[in-house]
Amino acid sequence: MISRRKSLQTIASGFGAAIGASMFPEIGQAASTVSSGGPKRVIFFMQNQGFDPATCIPAGMTNSGSLAKAILPEPIKALEPFKEKLHIINGLHGKHTSPSHSAFFGALGGYRGSDGVAPSGSTIDYELSKVLPETLLPHLCIGMDSIENMKAKPTVANLSARGAGRPIFMHSNPNHLYQMLYGGISQGDIRNQHEAKSSLFDRIEQLAAAEGKTLPSTDKQRFGEFVQGFNDMNGLRERLGKVSDHLRNFAPEVDEAYTRPEFETDWHDRILDLGISALKSGTTNVLTIGSGRGEIFGAWKGLGVDQQGHNLGHMKQPDNPIWVKIRQYNSRMLVKLMEELESVPEGSGTMMDNSLIVYTSNNADKQHTDGSNWPVMLLGNCNGAFKSGCFTQLDGKRPINALYTSILRASGVEVDRFNMTEKMAAKFDSGTGPIKEIFA
């Protein structure tokens, strides 16, 4: 027989996972320190199974230089018209993260990560959500996987964290995410489901708060996290409701692909649309996209790729038609992100002028890697803060932490290291502060 206490803990943990820790980060201070030339929003796009440098570096390009006359490799060919916004970086490392199959939280945290291991600190996306201009939902994570996994596990936590042992969940079911963001302004079944869930969340919050008072002190703090999750989720609904007229201008159209997807890529496309709409509406300023959800899984049958999951990681990526299709699909998503942000005026330019997109992998360059090389592509120069239209070859002695330090610096945060002690830096970092080569 399940006790009342046990059942409440089960309910709280289940719904806590369903709504995600991304619903209850501390909002942090508004970005009064954001520099005029720094980012107002940052998007992280993390593809699993590694990012082989040969799939992004133009043939014959071994030294740093302009991309103006270079021809981009076939996997990222879609970015050719956007070369002036592109910065390819090779020669960072993540040896200290011990990636192998995946660095998991360590990919964005810059620390040791492993399967089933809780985050040891906050990740760069969460830290940026505290210093960029304040929004209703400081940080949104979306994850793409096989249709079976996205249905069975609509949320998972593998990439982002707001602190040690405090993961942020990725939303993978576009129906659930649509209800969260736009349920209050929708009609029919979506509206009814939204209201039913809202009433349920209210009731669970009340029950959980009452039950939590009787728990032992060892359980009370963890249980309090779940209660706060419901509290903040309910608060988010109220805040979104107050700007419903504004949100109507950005809500994507709901089509049959939401409820009757033929392939997983139907849901990949819809959840990307929701992420873009959250950026364009100003609901969030930090979007993390996990293609493969930070794991070794993932499927792209909608692209004509029959292989999926771990098997993909054991295939060489260069000149592999399967990986060419996956990377081309990613590149089209990056193009869509840029075009959508460019369509919205902001200041004297567009939203894209004030945005930075970081494309890389949660697994360095390949499956079963030691992390010696961690290629990255940046898109956008944030009004001249970063170099663009170029390729930068580094010497392999600076870690991915230095890139994150650089983005924080561009965002107005005076920091010399991100998640790296002096003792760790003595072993894994040849320098200090940002990467000077990537700044304009």
- Asked if pLDDT for residue 47 goes beyond 90, the answer is yes
Q: Torsion angle of alpha carbons 411, 372, 60, 88, nearest 10°?
A: -10
**155, 171 contact by CB (below 8 A):** yes
- Asked if pLDDT for residue 209 goes beyond 70, the answer is no
Instruction: Decide the pairing of beta strands 349-350 and 86-93.
Output: unpaired
- Asked if pLDDT for residue 230 goes beyond 90, the answer is no
Distance CA 82, CA 206 (A): 51
Using alpha carbons only, how large is the chain's radius of gyration in Å? 21
Report the pLDDT averaged over residues 351-359. 98
Report the pLDDT averaged over residues 417-422. 97
Q: Which of 22-26, 149-153, 341-345, 402-406 has the lowest mean pLDDT?
A: 22-26
User: Which residue is listed with tokens 């002695």?
Assistant: 397
- Asked if pLDDT for residue 204 goes beyond 50, the answer is no
pLDDT at 232: 53
- Asked if pLDDT for residue 7 goes beyond 80, the answer is no
Confidence bin at 23 (pLDDT 50/70/90): very low
pLDDT at 394: 98
Instruction: Decide the pairing of beta strands 355-361 and 376-379.
Output: antiparallel
Third-level CATH fold of 30-187+257-438: Alkaline Phosphatase, subunit A (3.40.720)
- Asked if pLDDT for residue 28 goes beyond 70, the answer is no
Q: Which residues contact 20 (CB under 8 A, 6 or more apart)?
A: 141, 155, 157, 168, 169, 170, 171
Report the pLDDT averaged over residues 195-222. 52
- Residue 137 backbone phi and psi in degrees, to 5: -125, 95
Distance CA 377, CA 369 (A): 19
Confidence bin at 238 (pLDDT 50/70/90): confident
Confidence bin at 409 (pLDDT 50/70/90): very high
**75, 61 contact by CB (below 8 A):** no
Confidence bin at 240 (pLDDT 50/70/90): confident
What is the percent of the chain where pLDDT is above 90? 72
pLDDT at 3: 33
- Asked if pLDDT for residue 355 goes beyond 90, the answer is yes
Confidence bin at 171 (pLDDT 50/70/90): very high
Distance CA 234, CA 412 (A): 32
Distance CA 425, CA 363 (A): 21
120-137 pLDDT, tens digit per residue, is 999 999 999 999 999 988
Distance CA 430, CA 397 (A): 6
Distance CA 332, CA 138 (A): 26
- Asked if pLDDT for residue 22 goes beyond 50, the answer is no
pLDDT at 127: 98
SS3 content of the chain, % helix, strand, coil (to 5): 45, 15, 40
pLDDT at 328: 98
Q: Which of 22-26, 195-199, 280-284 has the lowest mean pLDDT?
A: 22-26
250-282 pLDDT, tens digit per residue, is 999 999 999 999 999 999 999 999 999 999 999
Confidence bin at 32 (pLDDT 50/70/90): very low
Instruction: Decide the pairing of beta strands 41-47 and 349-350.
Output: unpaired
pLDDT at 189: 57
Task: Quote the Cα angle for 354-171-310, to 5°.
Answer: 105
Distance CA 63, CA 395 (A): 11
Report the pLDDT averaged over residues 308-321. 93
Confidence bin at 15 (pLDDT 50/70/90): very low
323-335 pLDDT, tens digit per residue, is 999 999 999 999 9
